[in-house]
Structures are given as structure tokens and as C-alpha cells.
């Protein structure tokens, strides 16, 4: 009887942890990527808010790379990609295209503004 | 009549600029290398902001593999680049003492601004700063010459991915 209770308790803990780990995004933001810009090129989110970024490439393969937010998501034309993140710190985070895509690749920039509580 | 020397100089430089490509002599090479290293190439005092670790080397290798390999080969030592020796000046091996003796900041400056007179183009706006700095780290850790094979674009396998 004791063992059965322990098993149930462990199962409850595991399922709770899984639920917390796969937190549902509160908001989805669509970002289109093309040579040589992100659209929109600036987004604002709240600290602690779980956000899903839905990426669409309008031409060739790109990636959204925001090192300080731990984001590096490749997106190919015709294959939308998603990445979910929860910023733990307020501030401005700068991203770029992480996949070489042509002559203006180095100018591609996106800013994520994370507001405080 | 007063402008004759100037006109002559212009005509001479036009003639010289239209000459066929030949390898520069030792004196010209030595003079140009000294001038670049000590006068024209800036950035000597600028430190690489990226850490010298395996991940940075891999990032640099990836950026190099997307862009630089067409002239420098996958290994940075011109392996498989058919015209490397025929440019004037020839494409140097990036593992050579001549290149490795530049400071990190100078190598970044060369990638950013290109270098004249040579075929090295400016990559400002084409690569971002992180990519350029990571390439500098890769240059400090180049693999043995020939160990990565040749760029697929020169081997008839251009449909493949050159990043290995």
C-alpha cells in the first residue's frame, strides 16, 4: 500500500514537472524573413512571458539567431518553423540571421525588447 | 604643357593597370607585405570579443564554409581552388607565417574592409561582426592542408553542402 502511494506520488511529480517544462505560450508572434530583413524587425515582450515565434522564410533558408536568449532556429522557404522562449531578464536583445543568405546577410538585424515586471 | 608630367603619369598608370596578370616579384611582395602589416591595416590593438573555444572555432568554420571557401578552400590553404596561384598577388595560405603574424584585430579589419592591392573583397554588411570574429578564431585553428578536401563547387558536386 505504501509502495503504491509512493509510485502515485512520483508519477504526479513527473507529470507536474512535464507540464511546467512544456508551458503553453501566452502569445504567438509571426516573423517573416527575407533577403535582407526580418519583418517585423523589432518585437516587445514581457519578462517571464512565454512567447512562440512563428518564422516564415519568403525566399531562401535563413535562421533567427539571438544568442543571449538562446535562440537559433533555421527556417526554410515553404517550411515555417517555431521557437518558444521565456525571457528571464529585461533589456534589449539583438539578433541576426545565422545562416549565410547573400550579399546583405550581415545587415539583417532584429531587436527583442523585454520589458520589466 | 605644364600638365604633361601629370598626363604622362596617368597614361602610364592606365597602361600598367591594363597589363596581363603576372606574379609580383620578391621586392614588390616584401614591400607590400610590410606596408600592409605596419601601415595600412588597422585594428592591431582590438581584441577578439569571442572566446577561443571549440564552439567558436566551429562557428567560424561554418561562416568560412559559407563564404570564404571559394577563394581560400575549406582548409584556408587554397586546397582545390584552381585560380589561387594565378591571382596577382596569389591567394596566400591563411596558415602561412605571413598571415598568422597579423594581430586578431588586423585579420578582422582585413575581412571587414578587404585589402588592396589584392583580390580580397570587403565583407562589411555581407558578414556580421560575430561571424567575422569567429572566422578569425577559425583561422587560428586551421586544419591540416588538404584534410577537408576541396570545395564542391570545383569538384562538380556543387549541389552538396560544403560545411562538414
Sign of the Cα pseudo-torsion (B96, B99, B103, B109, in order): negative
pLDDT tens, position by position, A65-100 = 999 999 999 999 999 999 999 999 999 999 999 999
Q: In whole angstroms, what is the distance from residue B158 CA to residue B150 CA?
A: 11
Interface residue of B108, B111, B113, B128 to substitute, partner A, most A CBs within 10 Å: B128
A105 close contact with B: CB closer than 8 A: yes
Q: How many other β-carbons are positioned within 10 Å of the β-carbon of residue B108?
A: 22
Q: Across the beta sheet with A42-46, what order do the strands follow?
A: A42-46, A109-115, A91-97, A62-66, A71-75
**Per-residue pLDDT of chain B in tens (164 residues, 90 and over written 9):** 567 777 776 676 666 666 777 778 888 888 888 888 888 889 999 999 999 999 999 999 999 998 999 999 999 999 999 999 999 899 999 999 999 999 999 999 999 999 988 889 999 999 999 999 999 999 999 999 999 999 998 887 665 555 55
Q: Is the pLDDT of residue A43 over 60?
A: yes
H or E stretch at B56: helix B54-67
Q: How many other β-carbons are positioned within 10 Å of the β-carbon of residue B153?
A: 15
**Which cell numbers hold the place of B93?**
595560405
Q: How many other β-carbons are positioned within 10 Å of the β-carbon of residue B142?
A: 22
**Which cell numbers hold the place of B107?**
585579420
B60 and B137 in contact (C-beta within 8 Å)? Answer: yes
Q: What share of chain A is helix, strand, coil (3-state, %, to 5)?
A: 20, 45, 30
The ipTM, to two decimals, is 0.72
**Which cell numbers hold the place of B106?**
588586423
**Which pTM does this prediction carry?**
0.77
Q: In whole angstroms, what is the distance from residue A94 CA to residue A56 CA?
A: 19
Write the residue in A97, A100, A107 that is nearest to B67 by C-beta: A100
A74 close contact with B: CB closer than 8 A: no
Amino acid at each position: 500500500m505504501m509502495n503504491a502511494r509512493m509510485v502515485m506520488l512520483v508519477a504526479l511529480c513527473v507529470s507536474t514537472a512535464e507540464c511546467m517544462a512544456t508551458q503553453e505560450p501566452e502569445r504567438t508572434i509571426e516573423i517573416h524573413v527575407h533577403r535582407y530583413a526580418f519583418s517585423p524587425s523589432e518585437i516587445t515582450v514581457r519578462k517571464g512571458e512565454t512567447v512562440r515565434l512563428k518564422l516564415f522564410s519568403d525566399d531562401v533558408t535563413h535562421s533567427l539567431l539571438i544568442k543571449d536568449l538562446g535562440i537559433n532556429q533555421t527556417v526554410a522557404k515553404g517550411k515555417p518553423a517555431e521557437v518558444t522562449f521565456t525571457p528571464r531578464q529585461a533589456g534589449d536583445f539583438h539578433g541576426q540571421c545565422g545562416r549565410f543568405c547573400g550579399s546583405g546577410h550581415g545587415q539583417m538585424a532584429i531587436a527583442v525588447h523585454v520589458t520589466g515586471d | 604643357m605644364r600638365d604633361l608630367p601629370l598626363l604622362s603619369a596617368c597614361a602610364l598608370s592606365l597602361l600598367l593597370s591594363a597589363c596581363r596578370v603576372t606574379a609580383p616579384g620578391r621586392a614588390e611582395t616584401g614591400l607590400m607585405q610590410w606596408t600592409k602589416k605596419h601601415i595600412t591595416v588597422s585594428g592591431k590593438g582590438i581584441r577578439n570579443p569571442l572566446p577561443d573555444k571549440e564552439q567558436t572555432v566551429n562557428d567560424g568554420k561554418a561562416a568560412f564554409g559559407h563564404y570564404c571557401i571559394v577563394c581560400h578552400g575549406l582548409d584556408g590553404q587554397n586546397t582545390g581552388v584552381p585560380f589561387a596561384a594565378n591571382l596577382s598577388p596569389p591567394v596566400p595560405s591563411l596558415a602561412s607565417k605571413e598571415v598568422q603574424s597579423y594581430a586578431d584585430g588586423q585579420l578582422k579589419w582585413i575581412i571587414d574592409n578587404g585589402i588592396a592591392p589584392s583580390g580580397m573583397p570587403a565583407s562589411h554588411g555581407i558578414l556580421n561582426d560575430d561571424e567575422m570574429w569567429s572566422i578569425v578564431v577559425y583561422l587560428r585553428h586551421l586544419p591540416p592542408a588538404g584534410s577537408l578536401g576541396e570545395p564542391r563547387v570545383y569538384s562538380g558536386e556543387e549541389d552538396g553542402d560544403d560545411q562538414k
